[in-house]
Amino acid sequence: MRILCCLAGMLSMTMTAAAIAGDDVVEHVVLGIHGGLGYDKKDVTPEYLKLVRDGLEAALKAGVAKLNDGGNSLDAVEAAIRVMEDDPVFNAGKGAVFTHEGRNELDASIMEGKTKKAGAVAGVTIIKNPISAARSVMEKSKHVMFTGRGAEVFATQQGLEIVDPAYFWTETRWKAIQKIWEQEKAGKQSAIPAKNSQYFGTVGAVALDKQGNLAAGTSTGGMTNKQYGRVGDSPIIGAGTYADNESAAISCTGHGEFFIRYAVSHEIAAQMKYKKVSLKDAADDVINRQLREAGGEGGCVALARDGKFATAFNSEGLYRACVTKDGKITIRLYEE
């Protein structure tokens, strides 16, 4: 009996260790980003993965250039995310997925950690770079979030670039929604699978500037085949995005309904701030325990006020990258 108990304990420890996915903490990071959970590894090609790596590297370089030129953490976050919004490889901006109605609807949010000012837009269809619109909401309005037509009118008034909705059309995303429509007509699919990373996609960034101020931002094309009017976690402060100079900046990606219900980004920051839990342990607890137990798939990148960078994900992969203050770039896609 004693031997069996020991074996059970060893098995439990092994399972617990295997359940936690993420990288070792990286020190002295000034900018961290993610490009979403990505497709299941069996469904991707080396050529596609190269495009992802190139896109992440380009985003990092754009963000760091802002910091090196004297910009603040908000500048770095916005610049990095804009690059990914312009890259059709990612589910944000140009690469947005299609809704059930065959539309591209985009969401984004941004937050800075010193005063906790924040801005967001949701359900927009003509704003080329939603992350810039989110920042304009934060800096040029008395509100935190604008949605739909109101957000588009505001962005136009602020002089942001407006495009025809057709700009967001890409063949890859169009084929994906057509396949789902065919399955629905055949009665093989009536809803989005509860756990399937090919349906989720987001980009995000977290930054720490020379003044010690943190910032976080997230942008997405939403969930493939989402119903009319659906809004996920990406534009919701405390769910997909959060920044607090007393703890960390966090950007999330995954099944948004779970991230909203569990207030994931705020929960990570709160554990650090009030329970004095480390960045890594807080991210692992929320992503790899709370969400996993609830059946929610996703991940996050997080940057603490001391420059420590951590990731956590309970999916097969998380497209993530970071750069340290001495310029060292690290890019990882799956468990590597």
Catalytic site residues? Answer: 202
DSSP state of 237: B
Sequence-separated contacts (24+) of 117-121 with Cβ below 8 Å: 118/144, 118/237, 118/241, 119/144, 119/145, 120/144, 120/145, 120/146, 120/235, 120/236, 120/237, 120/241, 121/145, 121/146, 121/147, 121/151, 121/155, 121/235
Nearest to 66 by CA among 135, 17, 158: 135
**Burial (0-12, 13-18, 19+ Cβ within 10 Å), 5:** exposed
Is 199 in a helix, a strand, or coil? helix
Helices (runs of H) and strands (runs of E) counted in the chain: 10, 12
- The Cα–Cα gap between 230 and 11 comes to 41
Residues 94, 170 contacting (CB under 8 angstroms): yes
* For helices 73-85 and 46-68, angle between their N-to-C axes, nearest 10 degrees: 150
Query: In whole angstroms, how far apart are CA 288 and each of 136, 156, 311?
Result: 34, 41, 11
Query: Hey, what are 28's tokens?
Result: 């002295």
Cα separations (Å) of 261 from 14, 291, 301, 334?
Answer: 29, 10, 19, 26
178, 153 in Cβ contact below 8 A?
no
Q: What are the C-alpha distances in Å from 30 to residues 201, 207, 216, 250?
A: 24, 5, 12, 13
